[in-house]
Amino acid sequence: AKIETMSAEVVDSNPYSRLMALQRMGIVKDYERIRTKTVAVVGVGGVGSVAAEMLTRCGVGRLLLYDYDKVELANMNRLFFRPEQCGMTKTDAAAQTLRHINPDVAIESFTMNITTVDGFDQFKASVTHPDSGSSRVDLILSCVDNYEARITINQVCLELQQTWMESGVSEDAVSGHIQTLIPGETACFQCVPPLVVASGIDERTLKREGVCAASLPTTMGIVAGMLVQNTLKYLLHFGTVSRYLGYNSLKDFFPTMEIKPNTACSNGRCLDAQQAHQAHINSPEALAAAV
């Protein structure tokens, strides 16, 4: 009987009706809020491009894309980019495809390196509201493949009190992870050295010079899926937002954990954020609300 009811539901040609069904089924309270959300995707490579496509198909309001690189034939073992886009910047090629898939999404593309002195300022300005000086994005997704870029995102997010999610795929392409970073509440990217998780997964996603890293569309697609699923849960308030979710494809092992902030973190902004967070959770209002 249940199946009959479901198939009797109107399935029109509007792609949003399948998303709105999440609301009818009680998973999400107000799916349409997605249209008011702004997400920045930094790094439009194997993970970032797929994450951007998922967000576009989910109908996010605004998508900011950052990358300095061009599409190459060597990228064709991943998803998303097509051979005829070789030579285009990744941000322009992605904007072209994504606008075609869903013209309702406002896409801003930034072809730039976020780690240079100017790049840092431009990146920060682009996610800052010109009037209020606070963040104008709801979430920043890190889909870069190197330490410096992650440190830059960490710094901008600490300065703006902006929550972000980090992702990584190991150099041997068989494991990956996602992580949610909330200034003051969770570890920042500098609180702990690059993760070598006790579970036996080598999470060092640092790029070694002169070494050709392996990559698989499967692992990158799965990590992008984990990242955007966590993004939807965070933005639309359903389920549990993972603080850390690992993926080990050889063992089909998905470890989760919490990473507490380090009270001896080398980043002063992180220490300030930790103090503010402690003051907040010990405030009379917060204590009253917890009862």
Active site amino acids: 212
- Interacting stretch for ligand ATP, rule CB under 6 A, among 16-24, 143-151, 192-200, 237-245? 143-151
Q: Whole-angstrom Cα distance, residue 76 to residue 84? A: 11
Answer for which of 114, 223, 235, 241 binds ligand ATP (CB under 6 A) is: 114
Residues 179-218 that bind Zn ion (CB under 5 A): 188, 190-191
Q: Whole-angstrom Cα distance, residue 93 to residue 70? A: 9
Answer for which of 51, 114, 141, 270 binds Zn ion (CB under 5 A) is: 270
Answer for which of 170, 186, 215, 248 binds ligand ATP (CB under 6 A) is: 215
Contact 180, 163 (CB under 8 A): yes
Minimum distance from residue 63 beta carbon to ligand ATP (Å) = 15
From Zn ion, ligand ATP, none, which one binds at residue 160 (CB under 5 to 8 Å depending on kind)? none
From ligand ATP, Zn ion, none, which one binds at residue 191 (CB under 5 to 8 Å depending on kind)? Zn ion
Q: Which of 147, 218, 212, 209 is nearest to 176 (CA)?
A: 218
Using CA atoms of 139, 144, 150, 155 in order, give the dihedral in degrees to the nearest 10: -40
Residue 90 or 136 having the CB closest to ligand ATP: 90
Q: Whole-angstrom Cα distance, residue 121 to residue 222? A: 32
Half-sphere exposure of 261 (CA within 13 A, CB side): 24
**Would you give the DSSP letter of residue 137?**
-
- Interacting stretch for ligand ATP, rule CB under 6 A, among 5-13, 142-150, 221-229, 232-240? 142-150
Answer for which of 28, 40, 54, 66 binds ligand ATP (CB under 6 A) is: 66
In one letter, which amino acid is 180? Answer: T
Answer for which of 31, 34, 39, 43 binds ligand ATP (CB under 6 A) is: 43
157 binds Zn ion (CB under 5 A): no
Q: Whole-angstrom Cα distance, residue 242 to residue 256? A: 7
Residues 179-208 that bind ligand ATP (CB under 6 A): none
Sheet holding 106-111, edge to edge: 106-111, 62-67, 38-42, 139-142, 164-169, 175-181, 244-248
Q: Which residues bind to ligand ATP, rule: CB under 6 A?
A: 43-46, 66-69, 74-75, 90, 113-115, 144-146, 149, 213, 215
